[in-house]
Amino acid sequence: METTVERESDPVEFDHSEIEYVSYGGEHHLPLIMRLVDAELSEPYSIFTYRYFVYLWPHLSFLAFHRGNCVGTVVCKMGEHRNTFRGYIAMLVVIKPYRGKGIATELVTRSIRVMMESGCEEVTLEAEVTNKGALALYGRLGFIRAKRLFRYYLNGVDAFRLKLLFPRSEMSRSLLAAIDRESSHLYDHCQPTVGSADVGSI
Amino acid sequence: MDPKMDSGIENCAYHSVEEAIENGIAPVPFSFNRTDDVQCTIDVMDHLLACEATWHKGNSLAQTVFSCIYLLRLERTSSHALLNSYCRIIRATCSAVVSVVSDARTHEEEDIFTMAYGLPLKGEGDEKCLSMLNAVEETISRQLRACKAQSSKKRVSEDTEPLQTNPDLEEGYCKALLSRIRFRKHFYHVLMCMRKPHGRGLELARKHIASCQSELACIRKSSEFLASNVRGGSQNDIEERTTASGCRPIGFDASLNSKLSAPTPPRAIKILSWNKKRKPDLVARAHLQVLLVQDGKLYGRDLIFDIISKAAALPEITKNYETQKNEFLVQLGQVIVIGMSQMVRVDWESYLGDLLINFLKILCTNLAWQRRKLGKILQDWTVTSVQAYKNESVSINEKLFSLLDTLSLIDTLSFVPWTLLTIALNCELGENSNVYVDENVCMKLSKHLLIWAEEQTYWIAYRFLTLGFELELYSPSEYCMVYWFIYCVLVKLSEQAQLKMVASTDAVKRKGKKKKDISKDALKDQKLSPVVLLLQCYICLSEGLTMMLAALRNEHNAFQTPSAFNTEEERFIQHFELLRRAHIPNDSIPTSYINNLQCTSDSLIVKELRSSFSSDPDRLDELRQIEQIAEHNRVALNVICQAGASDTSLKVSFEFTHGPCFAIAVVKRS
C-alpha cells in the first residue's frame, strides 16, 4: 500500500492551527477517504478494502480537515504477525495543494502513537522506491528500509518495506507514560473519538 | 488510480484475430512492391526483438511477442519464406526460454511470465526452424554476392533474382536482413548449447554469444540506412521507437489477446525501445543456475562434497583416499553421534552439500530476493559450526563441562571447533566406543570443514551487507553503522582465510592452542596470500569510511537523524538482526559500535585510506577502484580537516561513483 507526498505548484496558504485532525468517526467519513485515495494514490482499491480497515481499526485512521474540506487521511491496522504485535500503515494521502506542510507527518504520527500505546512492537508499510517524499517522511520518523520488493506494484515499480521498531527499554515505558499524562482525551479502545485531539507537537 | 495499473477494457477495433485479418491488419505479403515488403519485414523483425526483450523484463507473452498476428497464425505466412522462418525461430526461442526458466525456478512471480495461456508457443516443424532459416540466409547471401558483383562490374556467375527491385538499395537491405537472421541463429544456438548436460556446450555458447554481439553491432549500423529509406507511417518519438527505420510495424495488436493475457486484467505496458540498453537479467541467471546445478552435482558431473573437499583444502590422507574418505564420513558422523546422546546423527556430506547447492541457487536470483534469502540461510551455515560444539559439550562429563563453562566456551564461536572435538574425543573414546576412529584423521578433516563453513558464513554476511547498498536500503545516516559492521565481518573473513592456510600446512603441531595464538603465528610465518591482501584493502576502506563518518557525526553534526519514535539503537538492531542471530561477528555488538563512534584520529584515517597492497594482476580493475575510492576520500578528508569543525558552510554527501558499495565523500560549500 502506499503514500503520496510530492510537492506541487499552487499551494494553498493556511495556518497550521486551521487544520483539524479527526479520528475516523463512522460511515460519513468513508466516502471522504475513498475519494481522496482513489484520486491520489496509484493502486486501485475496492470498497471492501476500505471497510476492512476502518471497521476493524477505526481508532487508527485519521482525517485532516481545512475549513470543512477533507485534505488528508491515513488508514492503518494492527495485529499479531509471526509472534510480533505489529502496526501497518495502509494508505496515506494529502491532496496536492496542501503538501509539504507537515500534514502527512502529523497524520502518521497520530496513528503511530496510538499503535505504540496499544502495545505494538513495530510498525511497517510499503512505499514505492521512487517516492522520495514518503521515504524522507518515514525516515525522519525512524523507519528503516528493511527489504526491497521487486516489481511489487502493478505498474512494475519496486517497493521498500519500511519498518519502525519501538524501543523496549525502561526509558521508553516512562516516555509513553509521559505522553499519556500530557495529552488530553486520547482514543478510547472501545469507541472512536471525534474531534481534534491535541497531543502535543513532535 | 494510476492509469498504468490497469489498461482497462479498451475498445479494441476487432473482436477476434480472424476479424482483424479479414480487415487487412496482417497482410501476406506486406506489399506487392518488393522493396516495401522487405522494409516491412525488417520492421516486424525489429519490433519482435523489442517485444521479446519486454517479455524478458517481466511482461506477458500475449502483450509482447504474441501481439504479432503473424505469430498467432503462422500457417498464413507459409508463402513468405523469410517471414515464416523468422517467426518460427522466434517461437522456438521463446519456447526454449520458457523451458529453462521453468526448470531453474529462480524467478519470482513478477520476474517473467512463463504461462502461455493457450498461445501457440509450440508448433509442428519448429524443430526444423534452423534449417529453414539457413535456407533463407543462403538465398539472401547469394543475392548480396550478386549485387556486389554487379556493382563492381564483375560477371554474374549465377542467375539470382534480386531481393527487391531497387538496385541501389539491394546491398543495404541484404546486409540488414542477414545480420538479423544471423543474430537469431546464433542466439538460438546459445540457448541449445547452454542446455547441454555437464556444461559441455559452454565454450561453444561463448562463441555464439560473441557472434550475437557482432551481429547486433551490424543491426545497429543498419538503422541509418533503413531510416533514410522510410515509407509509410512513422513512430513519433525517436527515443521510443521499436524499429531501426522508425516506422510503425505492420501486423501487431496487443488488445486482440486481452482474454488470453493472464488471470488478472492486462496492465498497460510499453514495449522497450530500439535504443534502450539493458543489463542481462533473469534469462541469463536461469541459464547460469541450470548450468551450475544439475542432478545435485556441479555442472551435472562433479560431486558436491568433492568440491567442498577441494575448497576446504582437505588433505589427502592415504593413497586409498576414496575408501578412507567414506570411512571418515562414517566416522565423523559417528563421532558426532557419540556427543549427542539422543539427537539424530548428522550426515555431514549431505548437510553441507545441500547448503552449498541452495547457496548457488540463491546467487542466481534477483538481488532483492537474493538478499532476503542470504539473510535467512545465515543461521543454517552457522549451525554447522555451532552444532559441533553443542553436540560435543552435551556428551562431555560433568567436570569437563563445568571447565568449559568457566572459560565461557559453550556458546561462543571464538573457540576453534576442532580443539573442542579433541577434548570430547579424549574423554569419551577408549571407553565404550565400538567404532574404530582414526583420531588424527578425524581431527584434521573436521577442522578443515568447520573452518571452511565458517568462512562461507562470513562471506554470506558480507554479501548480505553490501547488497544493501545496491538495493538502496541504507540512508546516509546509517552508512556509519553499516561500514562498521562490514569492517567487523571482513576482519573475521580475513582471519578465517588465514586460518585455512595455517590449518592446511601444519595443523597437528598447533593442536590445543587458542585461536588468537594461531593467527599471530600465521601472520609471522606465512606470506599473506593475494586473497587475504585484497580483503585487507577492503578492511581499510570500510574502517576508513566508518571513522570518517563517525568524525563527521561527532564534529560536524552531520548524518544524524533524531527520530520521534526510536533511537539509533533500534535502527541498528533492525538492520543487523539476522546477523546477530547467526552470531556474526561474535563480539557483543551494540555497545562496541556506540563506543567506536567516539574515536577520531585524522592521521590514523589518512594512513588507513592510503594503504593499498600490491595484488594479483587479475584483480587490477578492482584494485584501481579501491585506489580511486581511497584517493577521493583522502582528498575530501583533507578539505574537511582544513576547514575545521566550526565551518558550517561545508556540506558533505556520499556518492557511489566507483562501485556500488564503498562510497566517495563529496564536499561542497553551500
Q: Does A161 touch chain B (CB under 8 A)?
A: no
Residue in chain B closest to A161 (alpha carbons) equals B473
The pLDDT of residue B155 is 63
Rounded Cα distance between B37 and B632, Å, is 57
Of B1, B111, B573, which has the smallest distance from its Cβ to A44's Cβ? B1
Q: What does the pLDDT read at residue B59?
A: 79
Please tell me if residue B591 touches chain A, with a CB cutoff of 8 Å. Answer: no
Tell me if chain A has a CB within 8 Å of the CB of B111. yes
**Quick one: three-class SS letters along B157-188?**
CCCCCCCCCCHHHHHHHHHHHHHHHHHHHHHH
User: Hey, are the CB atoms on A165 and B571 less than 8 Å from each other?
Assistant: yes
Which cell goes with A93? 494521502
What pLDDT is recorded for position B338? 26
Task: Quote the cell numbers at residue B185.
Answer: 541463429
Please tell me the least confidently modeled range out of B213-222, B226-235, B439-448, B521-530: B521-530
Return the pLDDT at B319.
37
Cα within 13 Å of Cα(B144), Cβ side? 15
What ranges make up the beta strands (E) of chain A? Answer: 2-4, 19-23, 62-66, 69-81, 84-94, 122-128, 144-149, 159-165
Distance CA B668, CA B670 (A): 6
> Is the full-model pTM beyond 0.90?
no
Touching check for A120 and chain B: CB below 8 Å?
no
Q: Do B1 and A167 touch (CB under 8 A)?
A: no
Which pLDDT score, from 0 to 100, does residue B638 have? Answer: 83
Record the cell numbers describing residue A14, joined without a space. Answer: 493556511
Burial class, A120, CB count within 10 angstroms (exposed 0-12 / middle 13-18 / buried 19+): buried
Residue B288 confidence (pLDDT): 84
Q: CB–CB of B282/B104 below 8 Å?
A: no
Answer for the pair B496, B455: CB distance below 8 angstroms, yes or no. Answer: yes
Alpha helices in B366-438 (DSSP H): 367-395, 398-406, 417-428
Mean pLDDT of chain B: 74
In chain B, which residue's Cα lies nearest the Cα of A41? B1
B599 within 8 A of B547, measured Cβ to Cβ: yes
Per-residue model confidence (pLDDT) at position B408:
45
Task: Looking at mean pLDDT, say which of B191-200, B322-331, B384-393 comes out highest.
Answer: B191-200
Q: What is the structure's pLDDT at B414?
A: 32
Query: How confident is the model at residue B339, as a pLDDT?
Result: 26
| B58 chain-A contacts, CB cut-off 8 A | 151, 156
CA gap A200, A137 in Å, rounded: 19
Q: Say if CB B184 and CB B192 are below 8 A apart.
A: no
What residue of A is the nearest CA neighbor of B470? A148
- Enumerate residues 21 to 40 of chain A having a beta carbon within 8 A of any beta carbon in chain B: 38
A–B interface: beta-carbon pairs under 8 A: 98
Chain Cα centroid distance, residue B297: 20
pLDDT at B428 over 80: no
Predicted confidence (pLDDT) per residue in B580-608, tens digit:
877 777 654 333 444 443 333 333 433 44
B248-257, B258-267, B307-316, B375-384: range with lowest mean pLDDT = B258-267
- pLDDT for res B335: 36
pLDDT in tens, B185-215: 999 999 999 988 888 888 999 999 999 999 9
Q: Which residues of A touch B369 (CB under 8 A)?
A: 150
Which candidate, B610, B602, B614, B588, places its Cα nearest to that of B638? B602
Number of Cβ atoms within 10 Å of the Cβ of B382: 23
DSSP notation for B535-574: HHHHHHHHHHHHHHHHHHHHHH--S----SS--HHHHHHH
Residue B90 confidence class, pLDDT cut points 50, 70, 90: very high
Spatial contact of B574 and A146, defined as CB atoms under 8 Å apart: yes
Alpha-carbon distance B561 to nearest alpha carbon in chain A (angstroms): 6
pLDDT at B563 over 60: yes
Q: Which of A43, A152, A202 sits opposite B5 (nearest CB)?
A: A43
Gap from B105 CA to chain A (nearest CA, Å): 16
* pLDDT of B623 over the 60 cut: yes
Average pLDDT estimate for B83-94: 94
Q: Is there a cis peptide before residue B197, judged by omega within 30 degrees of 0?
A: no
Contact yes or no for B249/B47 (Cβ under 8 A): yes
Q: A47 touching B, CB under 8 A?
A: no
How many residues in total does chain B contain?
A: 670
pLDDT in tens, B141-199: 999 998 888 877 766 666 778 888 888 889 999 999 999 999 999 999 999 999 888 88
In 3-state terms, chain A is what percent helix, strand and coil (to 5)?
A: 35, 30, 35
Q: Tell me, what's the pLDDT at B276?
A: 65
Residue of A nearest to B375 (CA): A147
A141 contacts B564? CB cut-off 8 A? yes
Smallest CA–CA distance from A105 into chain B, residue = B564
Residues in chain A within 8 Å Cβ distance of B366: 150
Strand order in the sheet with B293-294: B293-294, B297-298, B302-303
pLDDT at B364: 87
Q: If you average pLDDT over each of B239-243, B287-291, B381-385, which comes out highest?
A: B287-291
Q: B234 or B461, which is more confident?
A: B461
C-alpha cell at B594: 556506540
pLDDT band for position B388 (cuts 50, 70, 90): very low
Average pLDDT over residues B484-492: 91
**What's the pLDDT at A185?**
34
Rounded Cα–Cα distance for residues B5 and A44 (Å): 8
B543 touches chain A (CB under 8 A): no
Residues in chain A where the model's pLDDT stays below 70: 2, 4-9, 169-202
Residues in chain A: 202
How confident is the model at residue B348, as a pLDDT? 64
Q: What is the pLDDT of residue B578?
A: 86
Residues whose CB is less than 8 angstroms from the CB of residue B625 and which lie 6 or more positions away in sequence, other chains included: B658, B659
